[in-house]
Structure 1
Amino acid sequence: MADIAEAAQVSLATVDRVLNRRKGVKARTVERVLQVAFDLGYVSEADHARLVHPRPPNVVFLLPMGGNPYLRLFGDKVRAIAQSKSRDEPQVRCYFIESFDAGALASAIRHHAGWADGIAFMAIDHPLVREAVEEVSAAGKRIVTIVSDLQHSLRDAYVGLDNQAAGRTAGYLLGRFCHRPMGSVALVAGSRNYRAHAEREMGFLGLIEELYPGLKVIGMREGHDDRDENYRLTLSLLEQNRDLVGIYNVGGSSDGIGRALREKNLSGEMVFIGHGLTADTRRLLIDGTMDAVINSDPDVLLATTLRLFSDLQRGGISNPSLLPPVKMDIIFRENIPPVQSVAGGAATRRGRHPF
């Protein structure tokens, strides 16, 4: 390395940064150092071809803390990726932050921009978050929203479902499955602060009004993706609306709703549509408590996001904001895919104050 530094007329520290693909070295200096290293026989032709390209990006995932099983599953998959030591893949970290707290999310975006080249997060559509995104984007960081998007922001891309289409699909399924053409239907969400939940509600309401005018939609209740809160909300809905014929869970933690329906002996009678194929929704589909689950494959979501960050770093994508939505899967009891295990690990930081 000292010979390379002398021949390339750079410092030993610069050679170290180039060979380990660290930041802070100009492209022409990288090329000169690598050519000298190749000429001296320090690196092979294959190593030279690999090292001459930009290093893989450092990527941080920010996920809401709480009991949402789909997000916990997604976090486990991110954690498994984070354990990889390959220098040719993005270096990944994952942090869980306070749910539904725009200030905590904005602070986390700013904090992790110090290490990360790219930040992926489930967006809370709030001025504090949009301001943080604009600030770190102006500093050259790449921003990708996942599952739920931001309106009017400088984020690079959104990876997730077309949530309005998902809501319309849920409305169509619920209306078709209802045993009666008249009655009330209810929506339970995590929070309207998630644009995904608001868009799903909008799509659902539009479809029901268009095709099933006999169904009356009760105003959406917010259960904050908490199973116990969803359980209490469902019991209240059943008590206050004797003509209730269907429930659409816009968010997560469907097991709380399922528990209330089973207690009231309404499994199979009440139409129940939800999101995210996880251990709890699998059980609810199998025992007949849920009729359908709208799902976006977390492996596809993760792979698409990481590939996007790599493409953005290489400049290989011209208009990332026009990426098509992630494919929507409709899961019924008869087409449940097999369970795939996820490797565990300690790379994901958990806890109330992860940083």
Structure 2
Amino acid sequence: MADVAKAAGVSLATVDRVLNRRKGVKTRTVERVLKTALDLGYMSEAEHARLAKPRPPNVAFLLPMGTNPYLRLLGEKVRAVADTRSREAAPLRCFFIESFDAAALAAAIRHHARWADGIAFMAIDHPLVREAAEEVSAGGTRLVTIVSDLPHPSREAYIGLDNQAAGRTAAHLLGRFCRPSQGSVALVAGSRNYRAHAEREMGFLGLIEEAHPGLRVIGMREGHDDRNENYRHTLSLLEQNPDMAGIYNVGGSSDGIARALRERNKAGQIVFIGHGLTPDTRRLLIEGTMDAVINSDPDAIISEALAQFSLTPEELSGQRAGHRPFKMDLILRENLPPAQAAPKAHSRRSQDQSL
């Protein structure tokens, strides 16, 4: 390697980066190092041909840490995909970071941009995050938002539901399921800092006001996708509103809401709609505590994100940045898909730590 570095006129570190297909080396430098290595007999023609091919992108997924079962499932699925990739494939990793913390997300974006060619992340709509996104994008790291968007020129695409339509769908179902269509309805969310939750709330409120005037909407409670917070919020809502007719969980951790409904003997009496098909919401649908789950397929999110990062510069130039149409699945007890085995837990302990 030292001979290759000397003959190519580069540092030993650059040779190492080229041979291990790490980011940060100009195309012309890669070509020069590989040709030198071939001429010196350091590698075979076959090895040269393999390394001369376009390097697949290193990809990082950044997800909020916490008890949200859907996000945990999404993370485990990313890791399951990573475990099936060949040794020749570029690294694919998933990291959980502090939830609802814009500074932590911004720091993680900057940190992983050092090695990742592409970062897929659930965005927090905050100036710190927008600034970090603009900075790493200018440095060549490609960004895709998933589940919750950050409309900004620095990101290539958003992959996830039309969240305003999801909120309107929840309102339509809740209004039609409530008989008579009167009483109080409550919303529980993770945080309005996630544009997805704010847009779902907006869509829900718009349709309830338009189509179900007999339902009185109680101001949204933020439970931070924590089952214990959701449990306490639901107990408070039930105590303060004896006429409670429905609950829409805009975020995750629906099991906390269900626990409160069961304790107050309201399970099956109050219409309950939420997001994300996971083992807990599946169980709640079967037992009748939940009426409907609005779902976006986590496998499809991962596949779409990886497909986006695999686009060439020529293909990107012909693509209009924005929201890729994404299918919304409406799951009821009677159309539950077959249960899938949970992905195996990943052994990389460092990927479970906050950054």
Tell me the TM-score normalised to structure 1 length: 0.89
RMSD in angstroms over aligned alpha carbons?
2.6
Distance of aligned partners of 1:333 and 1:90 in 2 relative to their CA distance in 1, 3 Å threshold: farther
Matched position secondary structure for 2:192: coil
2:298 matched to which residue of 1? 298
Distance of aligned partners of 1:24 and 1:195 in 2 relative to their CA distance in 1, 3 Å threshold: closer
Which residue identity does 2:199 align to in structure 1? E
Matched position secondary structure for 1:337: coil
Taking the aligned partners of 1:153 and 1:36, their CA distance within structure 2 comes to 40
1:101 matched to which residue of 2? 101
Alpha-carbon contact 2:186-2:217 (below 8 Å) kept: yes
Alpha-carbon contact 1:82-1:347 (below 8 Å) kept: no
The structural deviation recorded for 1:323 is 4.3
Tell me the TM-score normalised to structure 2 length: 0.89
Which residue identity does 1:349 align to in structure 2? S
Matched position secondary structure for 1:95: strand
Alpha-carbon contact 1:184-1:246 (below 8 Å) kept: yes
30-39 or 67-76, larger mean C-alpha shift: 30-39
2:350 matched to which residue of 1? 349
2:164 matched to which residue of 1? 164
Alpha-carbon contact 1:285-1:292 (below 8 Å) kept: yes
Deviations along 1:197-223, one digit per CA (max 9) or x if unpaired, are 000000111111111111111111111
Taking the aligned partners of 1:24 and 1:65, their CA distance within structure 2 comes to 29
- 1:142 maps to 2:145: no
Which residue identity does 1:343 align to in structure 2? K
The structural deviation recorded for 1:166 is 0.6
Taking the aligned partners of 1:75 and 1:232, their CA distance within structure 2 comes to 27
- 1:225 maps to 2:225: yes
1:74 matched to which residue of 2? 74
Distance of aligned partners of 1:183 and 1:297 in 2 relative to their CA distance in 1, 3 Å threshold: same
Taking the aligned partners of 1:142 and 1:86, their CA distance within structure 2 comes to 23
Taking the aligned partners of 2:134 and 2:28, their CA distance within structure 1 comes to 30
Deviations along 1:152-180, one digit per CA (max 9) or x if unpaired, are 45222111111011111111111111111
Q: Which runs of 5+ in 2 are unaligned?
A: none
Matched position secondary structure for 2:66: coil
Matched position secondary structure for 2:135: helix
Deviations along 1:33-84, one digit per CA (max 9) or x if unpaired, are 667888989233xx66654332111112111111000011111112223334
The structural deviation recorded for 1:346 is 1.5
70-79 or 191-200, larger mean C-alpha shift: 70-79
Alpha-carbon contact 2:185-2:244 (below 8 Å) kept: yes
Aligned pair count reads 350
Which residue identity does 1:346 align to in structure 2? S
The aligned runs of 1:201-280 (5 Å cut-off) are: 201-280=201-280
Alpha-carbon contact 1:77-1:299 (below 8 Å) kept: yes
Q: Which runs of 5+ in 1 are unaligned?
A: none
Deviations along 1:109-138, one digit per CA (max 9) or x if unpaired, are 112211111111111111111111111111
Query: What is the percentage of aligned positions where both structures have the same residue?
Result: 70
